[in-house]
Structure 1
Amino acid sequence: MTQDLFLAETRPIDHDNKVDAGIRECLQIGSGKSFITFAGAGSGKTYSLKEALDFLKDQHSTDFARRGKKIAVVTFTNNAADEIKDRIEQSSIFAVSTIHSFCWAAISGFNEDIRKWYQEKIPADLADLGEKERKGRAGKASEARNRSINRLTEKLEWLNVPRSFVYDPNGVNSSQSSLSHADVLKIFSNFLTAKPMMAEVIVNKFPFIFIDESQDTNKDVIGAFFQLQKAKEDQVVIGLMGDTMQRIFGGGEPDLGRTELEGWVPFDKAMNHRSARRIVGLGNQIRSEDDGRKQYAREGASEGFVRYFLLPYDVADKDTIEAQ
């Protein structure tokens, strides 16, 4: 019994090849088939993304370059964007960026629309802060609220005349004219759903949009893309890739990958090409209390080892003990 503990089942290396074939079937303009691929670590999600991009490059490279269209590949982190750039062949039709850079590129220059968005949002924020201040007690929280009230009041006055806005995806963005990281996502989500012209611009420029690390992508942004797919299903194909158990940042859509989405084709990659059988089995045991997703190890994978270290919380030399 002990020998079989966490020993995952195995499958042939090509067990998930049908997934890549299914994704290719979706990658036809007018197919109305956007898709979602959620799978565990080591399943080859990035490989599937590369296969899809290579397929689209073969199909559309010349035409897209001539017409100024691009294939958007959106990630959450700079590291993920760099990894994708390293894996794909350079082509002018690929636009690889973080979600913040993508959203800013879409709304940059719409200064009057951004100003009006703030003029509608700030009074609501001030009312909310004022209500909390009336109900709250004196102290550090009250001091923070009053600083926010003063800052927002000053910004509202600053917005009385036309302004130009700036944003640095990798910066602090502390000036009056700078958009915060959070506001860039909120403004993009609002514009994409409330301004038909924005949706038209996006699908005309990006007939294919891939969102990697979508478990971390802001839920308002994901919701906006859901609405875009529903409204423009004959003009755009959107592919979401991710893993609920690899969520690092807050603010994502909590049910993404757990429930079926109307109008979206789900794909499940069940393999773990990276880990030994016991590592895969341990992961399956952990996931059994979450989304229940089960992985298989490769045929021929080693059994591997799982070791537990139970130490008092106040032990200072944990690394030394683990090394022993």
Structure 2
Amino acid sequence: MSLSIISPSNREKEMQSLISIYNSIENSESIIFNSGAGAGKTYSLIESLKYVIRNYGRSLKKHNQQIICITYTNVATKEVKERLGNSDIVLVSTIHERIWGLIKQYQKELVEIHKEKLKEEISILQKNIITNKEFEKYQELDDAKKEKFKRIMFENKELFYQNYNVRAADLKMAFQPFLEDFPEILKNVSNFRKIVNTIYKLERNLVCLENINLNKKEYKFVDYTSNYNNDQLHNMKISHDTLLEYGQRIIEKYDTLKQIVIDKYPFVFIDEYQDTNEKIVSIMSSLDNYAKKIGHKLFIGYFGDTAQNIYDDGVGSKINDIHIGLKPINKEFNRRSTKEVISVINQIRNDNIKQVSIYNDCGGGSIKFYKGAQENVRDFINKYVHEWNISSANKLHCLVLTNKVVAEYSGFKNIYEAFKETGKYKGINYNQLNTELLNNDLSKLGEVPKLLFSIIKLHNNILNNKTPVLEILSKKSLSDKLNIEDLRKLINLLKQNKGKTLGEYITSISAYYTSVNNEIYEKIMDLTFGYKITSCEIFKNFLLEKLFNDITDENIDYANEIIQKLLDIEMDEYELWYKFIIDKQEQNINYHTYHGTKGREFENVIIIMENAFGKTRDYFSFFFKNLSDPSLLQGAEKDLFEKVKNLLYVSCSRAIKNLRVFYIDEISNFESGIENIFGQIYSYNCEDRSSI
């Protein structure tokens, strides 16, 4: 197997798919380019971009126009830039970066959208205060007493936050002298916290809205940075999801802006369309329709594969319902895998795309499906470490379903265990861990994991002498204010932040924040944390609020215990987690969740599989049981079948040459479904390898 020889006829056939794209570009005809895993989708995307540059580059420069290329991840952005080469007319970026680039200069219109959002949030908060059962004791107060209560709480805001995570009895004791006239409200501390938090948030939003209407200087601009994973509407700062919402609102609302975008960017390419948020597709559809209406040329090209839609917020097959009239162009060649792997993944997807290898020398792959037991997993992996001669130059990649296994084998078990026990990720919310804690795509990290990532990244950058100063400062505008001596002092100051555990490190940061008079230091920390880190207690309260949404008298001690566990974990373990996220692991065997391998390829792959996934007990077993006739499925069952199929397809299609699936549950009820895809089923017993 070498996967290197391509016949002239196959080259010609592959070229035809590119010619179809080129023709659509010439005709300003928006397309959806579908290609299976390993088809060379990125190659087709790059060639299409090069075609536009060759044929329209001079005209674009003359008219101050550019090409937009939107990618799904920062890794993909880097890859496209490297493969495309230097080009000042192609803007390659992630979705959020590009949407912000399109709308950020229209601050007047953005502020109007922001006002609409504030009014909506204010309305929701006011309704909650009036109708929510948790606010019942507050609702029973007359207007005068409500005002008195609010005044007392505003006067004692600092006291409230200082006692936010203490025991109920201690919080009552702290506020008893101030709230003697409100004994009923203090009876239930959990509801008391909700009432006060809502009052504070409502007041912040009302003040912000008033300041916008008063045309105050600091309220004339809406801000977005990738550091923020939660809205701070009262500070005119928005998060990732809200950015997409604002982008959709502003572009759909203002026809003039539509025309400006169309005329400035007549070519738009979107990579991995199946994982793109529906709001982005809606924006593109709006631009496409308006371009046709006013007779201006616009080409929008979606590149991807619906069979690889594995994220809940991706548009998937619904794209044609949102952006109507796209011309489909399919590519059926595979440039990644041996014919043996291709045969298996074709059986999994089982749709109108039947891949064939573009190479003549495409044989030599090895695919086997084993049934075995959980206790034999390590031995099974070790068997192939020896059989496949695994080394640092020939790594083995193991795909597992549980975050627990990935975390344990990768060295950050304590982090995983602590997050698993938080209110946010416990019970029915456990599935969120799949994407919010162990994801190589930073935009998919949860709010607290994203904050921890920013902290560890800052820690790494400061300790690494090769890190560019701009990487530490986050914004070029900060470095513009400093001379060389100031920069040297700042870096030395940042290096003073030390601590063996996360809690010790945060304490060190906050101590310098409050004691050192350095504006840039403060701004770096503000950008990293998203708020003023004046004490470790504030950081703890932030974690408590975000990871335990419903704190009661009964669970306050437990919640504090879990937060303390996170703070007591050593920085070295957070470093291992950080390296996992940025894909810089150093072991010969790398462990991944199924979702975490999206867009990647490996020579040697072992997939550990079982019936359940997350809290769904009948997951892969459900797929194999219904494989013979999935057309009988309807509604939620149909959606589940497609979801499992896509995940299985993505996982198996990572393999270039060697693929093993090790199923650790009983399979007798659906062996025929497995055999339909993988062929013969082998039994594995570490005590009797001769049976293999």
Deviation of 1:140 after TM superposition, in Å, equals 8.0
Cα contact 2:288–2:300 (8 A) shared by 1: yes
Higher share in helix: 2
Deviations along 1:130-177, one digit per CA (max 9) or x if unpaired, are: 459726899989977984674355234213223122221355566523
CA 16–258 in structure 1, closer or farther in 2 if over 3 Å, else same: farther
Question: Structure 1 residue 169 and structure 2 residue 217: aligned?
Answer: no
Name the counterpart of 1:46. Answer: 42
2-side partners of 1:142 and 1:232: how far apart? 53
Secondary structure (helix, strand or coil) at the match of 1:308 reads strand
Bigger Cα displacement from structure 2, 144-153 vs 56-65:
144-153
Matches within 5 A, 1:6-85: 12-28=10-26, 31-85=27-81
1-side partners of 2:305 and 2:268: how far apart? 18
Deviations along 1:76-112, one digit per CA (max 9) or x if unpaired, are: 2111111000111312211111110111011113333
2-side partners of 1:131 and 1:139: how far apart? 18
1-side partners of 2:332 and 2:72: how far apart? 23
1-side partners of 2:189 and 2:348: how far apart? 42
1-side partners of 2:322 and 2:231: how far apart? 40
Deviation of 1:302 after TM superposition, in Å, equals 0.8
RMSD: 3.2
Cα contact 1:36–1:257 (8 A) shared by 2: no
CA 281–192 in structure 1, closer or farther in 2 if over 3 Å, else same: same
Name the counterpart of 2:356. Answer: 296
Answer 1 or 2: higher relative contact order, Cα 8 Å, separation at least 6: 1
Bigger Cα displacement from structure 2, 94-103 vs 257-266:
257-266
Secondary structure (helix, strand or coil) at the match of 2:327 reads strand
Question: Structure 1 residue 111 and structure 2 residue 126: aligned?
Answer: no
Deviation of 1:296 after TM superposition, in Å, equals 1.5
Deviations along 1:197-246, one digit per CA (max 9) or x if unpaired, are: 11111111101010112112110111120121122034211001112233
Deviation of 1:311 after TM superposition, in Å, equals 4.3
Name the counterpart of 1:181. Answer: 240
Cα contact 2:72–2:276 (8 A) shared by 1: yes
Cα contact 2:341–2:365 (8 A) shared by 1: yes
Aligned residues: 310
The structure whose Rg is larger is 2
Bigger Cα displacement from structure 2, 136-145 vs 50-59:
136-145
2-side partners of 1:275 and 1:251: how far apart? 29
> Which structure 2 residue ranges, 5 or more long, are not aligned?
1-8, 136-187, 213-218, 387-692
Question: Structure 1 residue 90 and structure 2 residue 86: aligned?
Answer: yes
Cα contact 2:332–2:356 (8 A) shared by 1: yes
Question: Structure 1 residue 254 and structure 2 residue 316: aligned?
Answer: yes
Bigger Cα displacement from structure 2, 246-255 vs 138-147:
138-147
Name the counterpart of 1:3. Answer: none
Name the counterpart of 2:257. Answer: 198
2-side partners of 1:209 and 1:142: how far apart? 51
- Find the partner of 1:230 among 286, 289, 295: 289
2-side partners of 1:39 and 1:81: how far apart? 19
CA 154–264 in structure 1, closer or farther in 2 if over 3 Å, else same: same
- Find the partner of 1:217 among 276, 292, 296: 276
Matches within 5 A, 1:116-135: 116-128=112-124, 130=127, 134=132
2-side partners of 1:125 and 1:217: how far apart? 26
Name the counterpart of 2:334. Answer: 272
Secondary structure (helix, strand or coil) at the match of 1:158 reads helix
> Which structure 1 residue ranges, 5 or more long, are not aligned?
1-10
Q: Give identity over the alignment, percent.
A: 25
CA 75–123 in structure 1, closer or farther in 2 if over 3 Å, else same: same
Deviations along 1:236-282, one digit per CA (max 9) or x if unpaired, are: 11001112233354322132467796432110011111101121111
Deviation of 1:115 after TM superposition, in Å, equals 2.7
Name the counterpart of 2:369. Answer: 308
Cα contact 1:212–1:240 (8 A) shared by 2: yes
Cα contact 2:30–2:300 (8 A) shared by 1: yes
Secondary structure (helix, strand or coil) at the match of 2:369 reads coil
2-side partners of 1:188 and 1:73: how far apart? 17
1-side partners of 2:357 and 2:133: how far apart? 56
Name the counterpart of 1:158. Answer: 208
2-side partners of 1:119 and 1:309: how far apart? 59
Cα contact 2:17–2:329 (8 A) shared by 1: yes
Amino acid of the residue matched to residue 263 of structure 2? N
Amino acid of the residue matched to residue 33 of structure 2? T
CA 69–144 in structure 1, closer or farther in 2 if over 3 Å, else same: farther
Bigger Cα displacement from structure 2, 257-266 vs 302-311:
257-266
Secondary structure (helix, strand or coil) at the match of 1:268 reads strand
Secondary structure (helix, strand or coil) at the match of 1:232 reads helix
2-side partners of 1:75 and 1:145: how far apart? 42
2-side partners of 1:294 and 1:89: how far apart? 32
Bigger Cα displacement from structure 2, 180-189 vs 299-308:
299-308
CA 278–193 in structure 1, closer or farther in 2 if over 3 Å, else same: same
Amino acid of the residue matched to residue 218 of structure 1? N
